[in-house]
């Protein structure tokens, strides 16, 4: 028995899990409909795939949500997991699910997949014959991923950096790397049975003034960590920055460098996709303005040539969106994409050159770390500030980098901390900003820039 299988036996020998039948799950994956695999949809559907967000605690409400989405022409169904399951607190998830079912009030903010179990959930996930994307935010997702794949969910979002630095304060980063190595290996193993399981990194990070170079570096590193374990379908992603020009440049650079670095580690047979998130920051309360923002995001997604677009709703500022609001957004987005049908894309060459130099300089510093494995190099680079995510709550993150918007709404680095971007690039970044103001004025500008779309 392999070490991985021994670890899997331990993980799945859990009091909150029904008996896990490895042979039965393998047989299910081997014979599953190809339509359930987003990797297959990327190859066969000649369009940008549209995916909303959404998750309810009870089976019946989740099924009703999917029925709504199915009628709205959703390409990819979401399965958003509740916070207790994300934190591996299955006991509370079980209690809250029972209360939700008894009182018909949602006591959880998502679907408690581990509690429902794969035998029950699979009936729903296979019923609609569409790919499902697991959205969670879990540093230790080992049990969750096993349950998801056994249920027919063949796209797994997240990673050791993107699901830790934006969400957690104290969870050990080195443990997260090892737990996600398990996830990559399980996904790679199952990928040999049918179409590949797709892994998707979470590009928005803190969704707060994260400069493009940091977003891209983290996307590339999570991609490499996944590919080196044998994953053959991977999606890099980023979210709307607030500057159309910066988004278009980011799209061009991330696509170019994803292919470059995959080839650098000798992987030429993996499919790399681009996912674009509609605005992830604070939304305007006015539903008309929210609608305009959503439409603008769709136009930009078309311009950057995204393979998948993750939508928002007009209700984003006022609470958890209803299934009706989600379905409306999807229908409108699909309509707009049909009208656009791809847009000409003119990339700002100077911005592209600066961003490419920044990303490659940080990547080189990571690779030059003295550690013997890539995950240790990345761990050290976060610890020593080579990678620094603005507004991350995690204690290991340096939080020395300061960013602000220039007059054209581009996110600029005005204090780089220990991030090794070239001097020429740093001078260019600062030159776009008015740094003659006093500290209070700059802080007020940053606060304004965070809520720019409200």
- For residue 204 the two structure tokens come to 């928005």
Q: How far is CA 18 from the centre of its chain?
A: 29
Residue at token pair 């989405």: 69
Name the active-site residue from 146, 155, 157, 222: 157
- For residue 243 the two structure tokens come to 């500057």
Q: What region does 402 belong to: left with phi over 0, alpha with psi -120 to 50, or beta?
A: beta
Q: How many helices (H) and strands (E) does the chain have?
A: 18, 10
Element (H, E) at 65: helix 59-71
Closest by Cα among 104, 95, 105, 168 to 136: 168
- For residue 362 the two structure tokens come to 């940080």
* Residue 84 CB partners (closer than 8 Å, separation 6+): 90, 92, 93, 96, 108, 112
> Is 157 a catalytic site residue?
yes
Q: What region does 88 belong to: left with phi over 0, alpha with psi -120 to 50, or beta?
A: left
Backbone angles phi, psi at 237, to 5 degrees: -145, 160
**C-alpha distance across the termini of the chain, in Å:** 56
> Is 119 a catalytic site residue?
no
* DSSP 8-state secondary structure symbol assigned to residue 318: T
> Is residue 152 within 8 Å of residue 91, measured between CB atoms?
no
Name the active-site residue from 53, 86, 135, 405: 86
Distances (CA, A) of 291 to 146, 250, 303, 336, 337: 37, 24, 19, 12, 15
Distances (CA, A) of 162 to 86, 179, 251, 382: 14, 14, 18, 12
Residue at token pair 């969400």: 167
* Catalytic site positions: 86, 157
């Amino acid at each position: 028995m392999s070490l991985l299988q021994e670890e899997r036996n331990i993980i799945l020998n859990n009091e909150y899990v029904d008996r896990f039948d490895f042979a039965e799950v393998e047989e299910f994956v081997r014979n599953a409909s190809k339509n359930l695999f987003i990797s297959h949809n990327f190859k066969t559907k000649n369009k940008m795939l549209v995916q909303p967000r959404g998750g309810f605690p009870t089976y019946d409400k989740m099924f009703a949500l999917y029925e709504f989405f199915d009628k709205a022409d959703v390409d990819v169904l979401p399965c958003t997991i509740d916070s207790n399951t994300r934190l591996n607190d299955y006991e509370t998830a079980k209690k809250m699910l029972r209360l939700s079912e008894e009182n018909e009030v949602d006591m959880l903010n998502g679907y408690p997949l581990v509690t429902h179990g794969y035998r029950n959930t699979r009936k729903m996930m296979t019923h609609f014959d569409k790919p499902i994307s697991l959205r969670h935010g879990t540093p230790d997702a080992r049990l969750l991923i096993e349950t998801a794949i056994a249920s027919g969910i063949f796209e797994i979002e997240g990673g050791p950096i993107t699901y830790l630095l934006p969400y957690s304060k104290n969870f050990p980063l080195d443990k997260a790397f090892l737990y996600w190595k398990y996830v990559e290996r399980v996904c790679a193993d199952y990928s040999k049975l049918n179409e590949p399981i797709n892994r998707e990194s979470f590009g928005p990070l803190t969704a707060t003034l994260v400069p493009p170079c940091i977003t891209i570096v983290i996307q590339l590193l999570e991609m490499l960590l996944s590919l080196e374990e044998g994953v053959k379908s991977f999606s890099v992603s980023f979210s709307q920055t607030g500057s159309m020009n910066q988004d278009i440049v980011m799209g061009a650079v991330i696509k170019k460098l994803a292919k470059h670095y995959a080839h650098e580690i000798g992987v030429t047979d993996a499919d790399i996709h681009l996912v674009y998130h509609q605005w992830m920051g604070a939304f305007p309360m006015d539903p008309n303005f929210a609608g305009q923002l959503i439409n603008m995001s769709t136009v930009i997604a078309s311009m950057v040539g995204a393979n998948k677009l993750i939508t928002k709703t007009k209700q984003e500022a006022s609470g958890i969106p209803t299934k009706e609001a989600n379905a409306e957004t999807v229908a409108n987005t699909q309509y707009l994409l049909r009208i656009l049908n791809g847009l000409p894309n003119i990339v700002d060459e100077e911005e592209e050159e600066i961003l490419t130099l920044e990303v490659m300089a940080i990547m080189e510093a990571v690779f030059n770390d003295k550690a013997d494995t890539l995950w240790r190099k990345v761990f050290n680079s976060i610890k020593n500030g080579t990678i620094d995510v603005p507004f991350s709550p995690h204690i290991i993150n340096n939080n020395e980098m300061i960013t602000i918007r220039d007059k054209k709404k581009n996110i600029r680095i005005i204090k780089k901390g220990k991030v090794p971007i070239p001097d020429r690039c740093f001078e260019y970044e600062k030159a776009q900003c008015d740094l003659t103001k006093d500290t209070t004025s700059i802080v007020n500008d940053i606060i304004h820039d965070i809520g720019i779309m409200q």
